[in-house]
Every structure is written in structure tokens, then in C-alpha cells.
Amino acid sequence: MIPSAFPDKSEIARLSARMLLEIGAVNFRPQDPFILASGLPSPTYIDCRKLISFPRIRSTLMDFMAVTVMRDAGFEAFDNIAGGETAGIPFAALVAERLALPMTYVRKKPKGYGRGARIEGQLNEGERVLLVEDLTTDGGSKLSFVDAIRETGATCGHTAVIFYYDIFPETEKTLGDHGVQLHHLCTWWDVLAEAKAQGVFDAATLTEVEAFLNDPRGWQEKHRKG
């Protein structure tokens, strides 16, 4: 069923943040920072993959994503929904079901056997594709998926995510320079506001997380080991 009547963006952001907190997808650990793939420390970590195990929350968030892209991009803006390997695949399938559209997925790199394909499923030249992922940090990882889609002759000018960090100023420029518009449900700022409202974490933890969000590069440099 295609959703049509839902809350405004601010309420979608608040509720999305609340759901991520409720299932324990949000992790704040300033005293023992997480180490990111870049090797840099972070007091925050979010695991959107957990959502697939919570059907009521999963369903609501996918309704939110479907209505968000229809409102922002258009009700007839897409011909195909593509998921990025691997975290984006289940969410792309759920959004495609809601929008009654075909679904494909994009590999991070070609298979080393058979057709050597990066795109799985049926994607035709000229189709307008929405790339769906779980989250984005600086936007860079999306570009490879977008390029793979465009190499088929299809177009990809939009990507939708559940969670957007919204702390690195270059993110939307990186995507915009590549001709891609970002759509998202909530950010770290929304999660922080909801965590404060609910008292989910202690005050000292929230203060340190807020310091990181206001100056992530500076915080990382200060807390880098070695």
C-alpha cells in the first residue's frame, strides 16, 4: 500500500529518533570511544541494521521513507528502487513494495565469476533510480553505487537514508556536485534532542556527545590514540 498521509518532517524526525533509541540502535560511549573504519575515534555509533528485527518500527520507518521521497522528489519520480550492498538491500525492498516499483541492488564491486555484475535484478536504460541505504556519514560511499547505476544507462539523482549524520559540512556538497539529492528521516541532532527529552543517557554523556557533534574533527583529534 502506498502511504500518503503522515506527519510533517519535524515530527517524522522526532519519531524516527525515538524508535532508534527504543531498540538500542544508538550507542553513546565518550569514555571508551568507538573506532570508525577511518581509524578515528567517535563517542557515537548507530546500528540501523537492527531495525530489520523490529517489524512495527521497521514498517513505520519505511512508510516514513516512502512518503518523504514522494513529498520531496515527486510522486512519479522513480522507475526503480536500488539498495546498496549490504545494509541498503532490505530497506530498498521494503520501500519498493510500498511504492509498487521494481527493486534492484548494487554490489560494492563486481562478482568475480559469472556475469561479473554489479547490478542484480532488472534495470533498464533510461530508468530513474532511487538509491536506498541505511545511513550516510560524509556521502562518499554513495558515489560508487550511483556511478554503477549510471553505467547501465539509467539515471540516479536521489538517495534516501534512514539516518544522516549531519555533522560534516561537506556531505551535501559532495553529493550535490555528483548530481545527487539526499533525503533522510533523522540526524544525530534529532537523536540528541530526543535522548535529552527522554533522559536515556546521563547528563555528562550527553554533554560530551554534543561537544563531538559541534566539532567532530576537533573531538577526534583530541581523543586520537597514539
pLDDT of residue 132: 98
Compute the distance between CA of residue 88 and CA of residue 42 in angstroms, rounded to an integer. Answer: 23
pLDDT tens track, the chain, 226 positions: 677 778 999 999 999 999 999 999 999 999 999 998 778 899 999 999 999 999 999 999 999 999 999 999 999 999 999 999 999 999 999 999 999 999 999 999 876 665 658 999 999 999 999 999 999 988 888 999 999 999 999 999 999 999 999 999 899 999 999 999 999 999 999 999 999 999 999 999 999 999 999 999 999 999 987 6
- Select from 3.30.360.10, 2.60.40.10, 3.30.450.40, 3.40.50.2020 the CATH code of 12-218: 3.40.50.2020
Residue 89 cell numbers, joined:
538491500
Q: In which residue are the cell numbers 533509541 written? A: 21
| Alpha helix stretches (DSSP H) within 31-152 | 55-73, 88-99, 140-150
pTM: 0.94
pLDDT of residue 119: 94
pLDDT of residue 115: 62
Number of H helices, E strands in the chain: 8, 10
Compute the distance between CA of residue 123 and CA of residue 7 in angstroms, rounded to an integer. Answer: 33
